[in-house]
Structure 1
Amino acid sequence: MNYTVSRKIMMGMIILCLTSGIAACGTSQADQTRDQENAVESEADPKVIEEEPEEKEPEEASAETVKEVQDVEYETLIAGNLTKNEMQFVLAYGPDEIPEQGFQNQDYLFILNTLCQASEHKVSEPIIETYGTDANWGCQYSLSDVNRIFRSFTDYQLTEENNILSENNVHVQGDVVSFAAATISKTSNAVITSASYTEEEMEIYYTYDYITFDMESKGLPKQTENRKVTLKPNADGLYQITAIEVTEEQAEGEQMPEEQTAGQPAENTGIPVGSYSYAASAGGFRGTLDIESESMATYMTFGSASGEGEVIRYQIIPDDTVTVPAGVTAYTFQFIEGNTIQLRDWIEYDVTGVMESGYNLNFNYDANQGILQDSYGNKWDRVN
C-alpha cells in the first residue's frame, strides 16, 4: 500500500468519525428537547404520579454479634469439648502463655506433668483418669483424657506414633501414657467471671490465684490476678486458646457489687456442723466431708469402682485472699502438719514436707443459700 492510498483511508476514517459525532450530538439535542417538553407536560398534568422510592430490604444480622457463653455451651464450643469446670481446671494448671513460636517438647512435658499431678489431687472426680503405677513405678494416666485437655490449647496429640516425649521416658501404649511424675510446686485455682464470643473469637475473663510451697512456708498469702484468655476457632470450628494475659480490666458490663475483694477480712459465716457429700454424675469419685466444728473437718474420698480412697484431717481457715460475692465466705482446708493419710484396708502412710500443702483444699460457703461448693464448682449436699 502506498502513501497516497494510506492517506485516503485515514481521511475517510476521520470523516466517518466526524459524521458519527455530529449524528450523536444531534440525537442528544433532540432527546434533551423532548425531556424538557415532557417535564412541562408533567407540571401541567396533575395526573402524573411520581415514582415512590424503592424500599430497602433489612440488612442481615452482623456476623460479629457478641453472645454470652452459657454454662451448658462450653462443651459444644471449646476444643476438646471441655465443660466449664474442665476449662477452669485448664486455666488453673495449663499453660501460663501461648508461645509465638509454639510449644517446645519441654513445654509439653511440664504441662503434662502439672495437669496429671493436679488432677490426682483434685477434690472431686479427677479430670484425667489415673491407673496407678506400672512395673517401673511410673504413674499411668488416660491418654484420651490428656489429649482432650491438650486440644483446648494446642493441635498436638500425643500418640504411640507421634511420641515426641519418648526421650524424656514418657511411654505411650494404647490409651495409657506413663512417666515418672514429679510433685508440682504450687496450688492454683481459676474461676471464670464472664465469657462471650463472636464467630471470630471468644474472650474469657477469670480470676486466678496461686500459692507456691515456698510462699506458704514463709507465711506469704496467695497471689490473685485478673486474667483474660482469647480463643480462636480451629480447623474444626471449635475455640482454642491463642493468648493469655494478665489484666486489671473487667469484661464490659461485668461487675460484682458488694463483693469481698482480696485483702479484706473474710466474712466468717461459718460452715454448719454436719456431714456433706458429693458423687460424680458419671460415677467414679465419691466423697464425704464431716465438719466437726468451726475449725476442724475430716475429708473422706474413694472410687466407686476401685474402693481406693483417703481419710484426711483438716483445719478450716477463712481465706481473705480471694474475691467472693457478699454473703459468701472463702475457706482454705489446711492439711494438718504431721497428719496421717489412710488408704484402702486402713493402710496408713505419713505425709511430710512439701506434700502436705499439695493436699490443701478450697471451699466457698454461701450462707444465704446454704450451699457448700468446692473450688471446681461442685456442690456438696448436706446429708445430716
Structure 2
Amino acid sequence: MNSVFHARFNCKTLWRFAGCLIGLATVAGPTVQAAEDGIARGPTASYSIAFSNSYAGSDFRKVMVRNWQEIAAQAQKDGLIREAPVVSANNSAPEQAAHIQDMIVKGVNAIVILAASDTALNGVIRDACNAGIVVVVMASLVTERCVYTVDYDWSAMGRVEIDYIAKRLKGKGTLLEIRGIAGDATDQNISDGIHKAVRDYPGLKFAKTVYGNWTASVARKEVALALPSLPGIDAVATQGGDGYGAAMAFKAAGRPLPIIVMGNRQDELALWKQERDANGYETVSVSASPSVSQVGFWVAQQILAGKQVPKFVEVPLVRIDAKDLDAWLATMPVGGAANPSYNQASVAAMIDAATNKTVAPTPVPEVTKQ
C-alpha cells in the first residue's frame, strides 16, 4: 500500500478528530483521544521496544516507520521508554528472522513485528517469548501462539465493500476484483471477506481478478491489460492504493467509470470529488492506516507497564462515506491519505474495548480553521 501521509490528532472530545493540512513531515492535525484512567503506569523508562518491519519499500511502509519514530521519540522525552529502534528487512523472512535474533541477543524488552510470513518467523518468535520478551505482531499474522496481535478485521473490510456495491447495484452486477500481493496473508483475508460477502448476493458475479500490489501504477497496468477481454464492469472491489489506477485504466480505455471502492488515498478521494462535482459520481472508501505502528508501540508499552491486554487488539478501519468526503480530503495534501495518529490514552481505550468485547469508534474528521 502506498501514497500516504503522516498526521497528528488533537481532539476536543473522546474519539473526535480535528482536520488539518498534513504531509509526509510531522505537522499539527487530528489525534485520537481517550480518558486516561485506563492507562497502566508501571515503570518502563529503562525498557527498549524494537520494531521489526518486513520491508520499507512503499510510501505506506515509510510513513508507518515515521509514525513509529515520532511516537517513540515523544515517549522517550516523556520518560516512558529508553529506546525504540527500527530495522526493516527487504521483504525477506530469513533476513527478518536474523534481525529479530539480533534483537533477542541485545536484550530488548519488547519486539513489535510486521511479519513477512505467517509461519517462517515462528521459531525465532518462540525464542523471543522464551527469553521473556513481549512480542506484538502488527498488521500481519503469525501462527506462533505466544504473541499478542494488533490488526484490523480484514474480512469486515471486504464486507463493507460488497454490502455497499450490492446496495448500489440492487444486488445484481458484474464485478472486477483487484487484490494486493499474491501470497500475503492480509491480501488473502480481504479477498476472503469479499467472496464470503458476495455469497449473500447471488446476482453479483466476478468477471476477473487481477493483482495490483496495493499500488496505483501496477493496478492501472493490470486493469488495462484485462479490460479488452471483459464485459461491462459495474463495480470494482479493491484493497487500498489501487482505486486511482483502476479509474485511470477505465478512462484510458474509453469505458464508463464503474463504482470503484476507494482506499482513502488523496488521489482517489480527489478523483471521487472531481467526478462527483462533474456528474454526481458516488462511491465509498475504506482502508487501514500506517499509524497502526503507533498502536503496536503503545500496546507493547502498556503490556510492559503492567496492563492486562487480550491476545488480539482490533484497530478500527477508517471508512469514508460521501457525506465525509470533503472533510477528509481537506486534511490531505497531494500524496496523502487518511492517517489518524494514536496516543497512549487512545490505545489504552482500544485495549479496553478489546477486553470488554466492545467496538472502538471509527475515526471521524472534524474540520477546523487553520
TM-score (norm 2): 0.23
Rg larger in 1 or in 2?
A: 1
**Structure number with higher relative contact order (C-alpha < 8 Å, ≥ 6 residues apart):** 2
Q: Greater strand share, 1 or 2?
A: 1
Q: Greater helix share, 1 or 2?
A: 2
